[in-house]
Structure 1
């Protein structure tokens, strides 16, 4: 194992099995990014989609570091860092639907800012990269944002719904779970989320040159991944959601996650199927 990768695994508190993920996902992704950058003759903007707990942020960070160590100027940014703050979401909750108070689904991000950052990374000059503090539920002050001198060779935009397309209207008729059945009987929330995905998020996703999907085996596995994440957080910090709270929380993401798993594999440029333990199964192109 390279020294830098061992340091990365230690910093991120990853299991040693991440070595296989690096070899089978991160390194091949980096190789593809190099080829795409050469093919385009400009910045390659790559979307990395993966359900909650799939390891997409870690894969993006390791790929970024590997590319930078090998002479390219690469940057990984997260859709999470473009969340609207509490006040903006409270306004949406009051004016549109109370479920919009919870960050995550389309409609709770500053899409215009994300578009501006991606565009700026393609050109000369310094680009500040927004950062969202989930502990305070607010965007960090600009003084704490990292910066990169452009143009970048590779931009990796990672997020749970990156590259997603809106659902057909007929799919919105039936509730996906108890949350929708109880709290969204008029379909106002899921309709708003779907319209936001169609009318605004496609402007951001249209900037992607390539789309990579970390494909979870099923939504039930995704739920288990999130329960595991929160259990580790409780053990480490004493905070984090209970299993019951996780069960409710993941329902905000269930509808679109199921749609992504059904719809995206046919059009993604590279699909990486994952085992229930998050390790990659033999790769397909």
Structure 2
């Protein structure tokens, strides 16, 4: 029988099994990959709590915390393509910053963990980053973690209206795909174990992202945000790489948790 995974909490048994697998392989860095809305950050937080209960020091790093600041993305947009002003797709992260955190974890060196303020669209000043003296387990989560680039021939045809209308020459998607193949493998190589949270398809991302936006509205009434039309356009920035993740990660990841459209757990492998 399928088990419900509330957006606020994962079943303790699932958390325990993921942690057991991670520790049994002496992993220092656990990667969690999953499309938008799959519950990656929630699971990461629960894993850190579960690790603490076993006397281990855990910490989380999100791919989102490596975003380039708004000004840097605007410079990219002016130099390469206007769509690079939107944070999130490959090429809009500071990969070297993530690598410096992984290096510190490996060597046991104290490190500050970067944090990005999405409301202000900028990375927080380093003085405001949480300080970690020693990390036994780093949970690194992100929407495209572990995803390989596509073959050039796959980039010819647009996958949605955004690519068709705003990237008709393919400049943006080729640039992002090149960054994914050039810069990000160094990050993926630092991951000891990779968990993929597999949804039924990309089609659920809009609904899940809309739920997230509605929750943000409830938490900060009058704080702005995107309406349904804005979300529909926004998620198209991620469709191509998300579909590549769905094609490749089930066979590449060390663990896969399969979800249905209601975020119920269908299978663990």
| TM-score clears 0.5 | yes
Distance between the aligned counterparts of 1:205 and 1:125, measured in 2? 20
The answer to whether the 8 Å contact 2:10/2:42 transfers is no
Q: Secondary structure of 1:77's partner?
A: strand
Query: In structure 1, which of residues 254, 264, 271 is the aligned counterpart of residue 256 of structure 2?
Result: 271
Equivalence for 2:154:
171
Distance 1:70 1:275 in 2: 31
Unpaired runs of 5+ in structure 1?
A: 1-14, 38-42
User: Counterparts of 2:80 and 2:9 in 1: how far apart (Å)?
Assistant: 45
Structure with more helix by fraction: 1
Residue of structure 1 aligned with 2:233, choices 243, 248, 259: 248
- Equivalent residue for 1:199, pick from 167, 182, 197: 182
Residue number in structure 2 paired with 1:139: 123
Say if 1:21 and 1:279, in contact at 8 Å, map to a contact too. Answer: no
Displacement of 1:65 in angstroms is 1.3
CA deviation map 1:43-70 (0-9, x unaligned): 5212100110110010011101110121
Shift of 1:117: 0.8
Pairwise CA distance, 1:17: 4.4
1:119-138 matched pairs, under 5 angstroms: 119-138=103-122
Maintained 8 Å contact 1:84/1:103: yes
What residue is the counterpart of 1:112 in the other structure? 96
For residue 21 of structure 1, give the secondary structure of its aligned residue in structure 2. Answer: coil
Which stretches of structure 1, 4 residues or longer, exceed 4 Å deviation after superposition?
Answer: 15-20
> Please, what TM-score do these two structures have when normalized by structure 2?
0.94
Verify: 1:161 aligned to 2:118, yes or no: no
2:145 corresponds to 1:184 = no
Q: Secondary structure at the residue paired with 2:31?
A: strand
Q: How far apart, CA to CA, are the structure 1 residues paired with 2:220 and 2:257?
A: 32
8 Å CA contact retained: 1:48, 1:158: yes
Matches within 5 A, 1:1-285: 17=6, 21-37=10-26, 44-150=28-134, 152-238=135-221, 239-284=224-269
- Secondary structure of the residue aligned to 1:104 is coil
Deviation at 1:24, TM superposition (A): 4.1
Write the distance in 1 (CA, Å) between the matches of 2:44 and 2:23.
14
CA deviation string 1:218-277 (max 9, x = no partner): 111111101111122223323321000000000000111011011110111001001212
Q: CA deviation at 1:173?
A: 0.7
Residues of 2 paired with 1:248 and 1:62: CA distance? 32
Unmatched tracts of structure 2, length 5 or more: none
Corresponding residue for 1:8? none
> In the alignment, what sits opposite 1:6?
none
Q: TM-score, normalised by structure 1?
A: 0.89
CA distance in 1, matches of 2:176, 2:249: 18
Do the aligned partners of 2:160 and 2:236 also contact (CA within 8 Å) in 1?
A: yes
Alpha carbons 1:24, 1:280 under 8 Å: kept: no
The 1:16–1:50 alpha-carbon spacing in structure 2 relative to 1, beyond 3 Å, is closer
Higher relative contact order (CA 8 A, sep 6+): 2
